[in-house]
């Protein structure tokens, strides 16, 4: 059974919570452990009046069920007062303050589409703008002040608190009237669509602070619609059919950000923008005329093979490309629509599937292996990295993921675009997924031969997906197999199949906390270094070229992130033993910028290690649905044998008991999370996390969510010498026996944790 979603320890502010949807949200959050601020001005449907009864009644309902709630009667235009009410009731500055903010000002609040005739209280105006002009549209002033400006003010008041605690969830409530427009609701529609624009920008600005903002457009019965909707329809549009979506979007497990959802009657759907491929209607050094627009109108409005831009960079990319085509004098002939829109001039699976690229040879030496290892972040700072960096090492090895390099050379130089049935614009080609399987450890030098073939072609609607299989041999012996999943934007719509049994599938990770998390910083020159292994795409080095691709700066190669993740898993679960590596599969989601840190979350399930990579600074997922399969270690020590005889285990067991007895007191004194890496024989033998920051404290075996404030690396023997007082921690640090990562000042609190253990 799935684990229920809990909001224990979270503070939720719901505006407009005295009735309808807002009331339903408040009750649902209260039932699941959240502390709820129930805000409602208590006005009527025209925006007049004020009463505390609506908010008070909801608070009473929450408390009657054992929940925690307070009422607030301020207008959303007084945003600071709302946030202060939450802080005064539940929060502490610098600790948990406002976690979730629901801007619930919808049809249950103020709506200005009623007629002045009391006999027709909710009749839409057929000539709204003409009838009300400025006076009517900006009774709109009330509409805009409450719906749009009020949401902005409340969010602004909560924003810095969310930034400080590195967590926040904001839900803006738009409506179908804002998305599609609605007769007689010009003022309301403008405000509601304005909320969507506000939410989209907040999603971008809040991403790096783990603040997510999403927008919903609910359809539900309310005190307004009950006068115009039949009872049966109202019964089907209960507010309780909307609340589950809101709760999921607000949960810390949910990574959705910048989404727009329609919801009602138990149905939920996500919306996105769609754009035609369009047409270039001018020539270089010539005037553009309305007649040319008229003549190309059908093509301009043709949504066949439409694109779906999701960012402003993606939106501008097409314009930049068009400008370059026009400047090149290619004019209409260069229209990307001509190259990509139709199967007759683009993708023809029957001609391409099964076709072979030219056989390619790849010769390399130990230098290429070392250069690749440096490109994926290995460093002489780490002793166990030396086996991949020094050709004179007794166990000199080639990283398993180097297997993509000869295959990539085959793909890039083999002329994929020259095959029959594959007429596409190479600037539209994206690397979607990657699979690599090794049949033996890669030699550290030699000559490899790769044979590539088109395994299948899928029609994904917005593009074509090419599955390219590449088998690589050494002296006619199969060494490795790669499958490149290549997506060609805009080349879909040729009527092909959407799935293939030839595709190696991605697999989602288990639904639990990761077993281990490793964070590794890339350098500013990471992409410049990685490209020396053969991927010379200027997107990764040239700022001007990156701008053409819609990026602010050059991005890291996806296969570089792939290499980082693979070595994290190999080190964590195979002691860097390359003979244990069997295969790896990943889906590329978003790029990393050189200088950002890559965080790899890992889940062990037998010999399969599921993993996911994120950008630490933004939380953006980089690699998803990923896993590495390992061979069972033949004769290698088991996990229990590796830690057998560690003296430090006894100390950590005692620390665990002390935390259970004195956890709250220790948390107050220390307020930090310590990571420990205990080594034996130069290799990591055990990992521990001492959490004296959360709740009443806890001890975890292994790394815990990667959220340590400081991490110590020390041998089992030296650790015991520190514990019993034979070795001063400072002397151990300066002698290189105790390595520290993170806030080194917290090492001063070690005495609080380790004192008196000499008596054990």
Taking only the tens place, the pLDDT of each residue in 104-124 is: 543 333 343 433 333 333 222
The rounded distance, in Å, linking the Cα atoms of 193 and 203 is 16
Q: What is the pLDDT of residue 706?
A: 56
pLDDT confidence bin for 347, thresholds 50/70/90: confident
Q: Does the annotation mark 188 as catalytic?
A: yes
Taking 80 as the threshold, does the pLDDT of residue 92 lie above it?
no
Read off the pLDDT of residues 353-374 as tens digits, 9 standing for 90 and up. Answer: 998 888 899 999 999 999 999 9
pLDDT tops 90 at residue 692: no
Q: Which residue has the higher pLDDT, 646 or 734?
A: 646
Give the tens place of pLDDT for each residue, 152-178: 999 999 999 888 888 999 999 999 989
Indicate which residue of 73, 188, 372, 704 is catalytic. Answer: 188
Model confidence at 47: pLDDT above 80: no
Tell me which residue of 522, 556, 516, 525 sits closest to 539, measured CA to CA: 556
The pLDDT tens digits for 432-465 are: 999 999 999 999 999 999 999 999 999 988 889 9
Highest averaged pLDDT of the listed ranges 130-134, 235-239, 644-648: 235-239
Q: What tens digit of pLDDT does each residue of 242-266 get?
A: 999 999 999 998 989 999 999 998 9
CA atoms within 13 A on the CB side of 524: 0
**Can you give the pLDDT at residue 636?**
38
DSSP-assigned beta bridge partners for residue 343: none
The mean pLDDT of 298-320, rounded to a whole number, is 78
Query: Is the pLDDT assigned to residue 97 strictly greater than 70?
Result: no
CB-based contact 314:550 (threshold 8 Å): yes
Q: Decide: 279 and 302 in contact? Cβ < 8 Å.
A: no
222 burial class (0-12, 13-18, 19+ CB within 10 angstroms)? buried
Angle, helices 150-165/79-89, rounded to nearest 10 degrees: 40
Confidence of residue 307 (pLDDT cuts 50, 70, 90): confident
Residue 549 pLDDT exceeds 90: no
- The contacts found for 112-119 with CB under 8 angstroms, 24 or more apart, are 112/46, 112/47, 112/136, 112/139, 112/140, 112/142, 112/143, 112/187, 112/188, 113/184, 113/185, 113/188, 114/45, 114/46
pLDDT, tens only, 594-617: 999 999 999 999 999 999 999 999
**Portion of the chain with pLDDT greater than 70, in percent:** 82
Q: What is the mean pLDDT of the chain?
A: 82
pLDDT (mean) for 128-151: 60
Least-confidence region, from 119-128, 206-215, 637-646, 745-754 = 119-128
392: DSSP letter: T
Q: Which of 551, 337, 539, 368 is nearest to 448 (CA)?
A: 368
What's the CA dihedral at 143, 145, 150, 156 to 10 degrees? 140
pLDDT score for 221: 62
Q: What are phi and psi of 382, to 5 degrees?
A: -105, 115
- Of 430 and 634, more confident: 430
Query: pLDDT for 703-752, tens place per residue?
Result: 665 568 888 888 988 888 888 778 877 777 777 788 888 787 777 776 66
Return the H-helix or E-strand segment holding 635: none
Residue 330 has pLDDT above 70, yes or no: no
Contact residues for 364 (Cβ-Cβ < 8 A; gap 6+): 405, 406, 445, 446, 447, 448
Q: Check: CB of residue 204 under 8 Å from CB of residue 258.
A: yes
Mean pLDDT of all residues in 167-196: 90
Predicted pLDDT at 230 = 58
From 127-141, 231-245, 579-593, 732-746, the region with the lowest mean pLDDT: 127-141
Kindly report whether the global pTM for this prediction surpasses the value 0.85: no
Which pLDDT score is estimated for 287? 86
């Amino acid at each position: 059974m799935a684990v229920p979603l809990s909001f224990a320890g979270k503070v939720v502010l719901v505006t407009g919570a005295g009735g309808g949807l807002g009331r339903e949200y408040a009750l649902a959050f209260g039932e699941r452990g959240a502390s709820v601020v129930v805000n409602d001005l208590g006005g009527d449907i025209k925006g007049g009046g004020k009463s505390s009864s609506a908010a008070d009644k909801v608070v009473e309902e929450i408390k009657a069920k054992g929940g925690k709630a307070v009422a607030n009667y301020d207008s959303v235009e007084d945003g600071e007062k709302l946030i202060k009410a939450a802080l005064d009731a539940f929060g502490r500055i610098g600790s948990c303050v406002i976690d979730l903010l629901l801007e619930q000002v919808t049809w249950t609040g103020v709506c200005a589409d009623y007629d002045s005739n009391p006999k027709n209280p909710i009749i839409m105006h057929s000539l709204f703008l003409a009838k009300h002009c400025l006076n009517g549209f900006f009774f709109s002033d009330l509409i805009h002040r409450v719906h749009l400006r009020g949401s902005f003010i409340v969010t602004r008041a909560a924003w810095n608190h969310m930034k400080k605690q590195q967590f926040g969830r904001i839900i803006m409530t738009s409506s179908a009237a804002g998305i599609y427009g609605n007769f007689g609701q010009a003022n309301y529609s403008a405000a509601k669509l304005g909320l969507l624009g506000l939410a989209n920008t907040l999603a971008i600005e809040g991403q790096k602070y783990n603040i997510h903002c999403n927008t919903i457009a609910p359809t539900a019965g309310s005190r307004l619609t009950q006068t115009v909707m039949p009872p049966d329809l109202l019964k089907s549009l209960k507010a309780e059919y909307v609340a589950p979506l809101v709760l999921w979007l607000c949960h810390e497990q949910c990574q959705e950000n910048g989404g727009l959802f329609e919801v009602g009657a138990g149905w939920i759907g996500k919306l996105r923008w769609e754009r035609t491929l369009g047409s270039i209607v001018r020539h270089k050094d010539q005037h553009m005329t309305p007649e040319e627009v008229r003549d190309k109108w059908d093509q301009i409005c043709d949504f066949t093979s439409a694109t779906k831009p999701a960012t402003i960079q993606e939106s501008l990319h097409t314009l930049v490309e068009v400008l370059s085509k026009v400047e090149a004098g290619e004019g209409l002939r260069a229209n990307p629509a001509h190259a990509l829109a139709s199967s007759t001039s683009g993708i023809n699976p029957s001609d391409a599937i099964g076709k072979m690229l030219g056989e390619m040879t790849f010769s390399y030496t130990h230098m290429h292996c070392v250069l690749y290892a440096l490109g994926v972040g290995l460093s002489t700072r780490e002793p166990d990295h030396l086996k991949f960096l020094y050709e004179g090492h007794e166990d000199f090895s080639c990283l398993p993921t180097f297997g993509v390099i000869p295959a990539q050379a085959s793909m890039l130089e083999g002329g994929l675009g020259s095959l029959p049935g594959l007429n596409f614009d190479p600037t539209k080609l994206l690397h979607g997924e990657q699979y690599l399987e090794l049949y033996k450890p890669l030699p550290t030098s030699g000559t490899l031969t790769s044979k590539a073939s088109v395994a299948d072609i899928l029609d994904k609607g917005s593009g074509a997906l090419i599955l390219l299989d590449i088998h690589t041999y050494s002296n006619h012996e199969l060494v490795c197999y790669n499958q490149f999943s290549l997506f060609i934007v805009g080349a879909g719509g040729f009527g092909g199949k959407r799935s293939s049994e030839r595709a190696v599938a991605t697999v989602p990770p288990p639904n639990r906390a990761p077993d281990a998390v490793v964070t590794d910083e890339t350098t500013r020159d990471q992409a410049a270094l990685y490209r020396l292994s053969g991927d010379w795409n200027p997107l990764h080095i040239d700022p001007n070229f990156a701008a053409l691709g819609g990026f602010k700066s050059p991005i890291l190669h996806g296969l570089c992130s792939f290499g980082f993740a693979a070595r994290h898993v190999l080190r964590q679960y195979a002691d860097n033993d390359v003979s244990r590596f069997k295969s790896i599969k990943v889906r590329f989601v978003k790029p990393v910028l050189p200088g950002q840190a890559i965080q790899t979350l890992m889940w062990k399930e037998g010999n399969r290690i599921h993993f996911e990579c994120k950008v630490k600074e933004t939380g953006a997922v980089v690699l998803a649905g990923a896993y590495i399969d390992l061979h069972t270690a033949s004769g290698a020590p088991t996990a229990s044998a590796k830690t057998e005889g560690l003296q430090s285990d006894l100390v950590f067991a005692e620390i665990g008991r002390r935390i259970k007895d004195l956890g709250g007191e220790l948390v107050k004194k220390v307020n930090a999370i310590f990571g420990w890496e205990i080594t034996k024989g130069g290799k990591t033998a055990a990992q521990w996390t001492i959490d004296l920051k959360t709740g009443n404290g806890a001890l975890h075996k292994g790394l815990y969510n990667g959220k340590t404030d400081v991490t110590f690396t020390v041998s089992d023997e030296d650790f015991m010498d520190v514990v019993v007082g034979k070795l001063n921690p400072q002397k151990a640090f300066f002698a290189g026996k105790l390595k520290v990562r993170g806030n080194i000042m917290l090492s001063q609190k070690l005495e609080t944790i380790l004192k008196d253990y000499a008596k054990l």
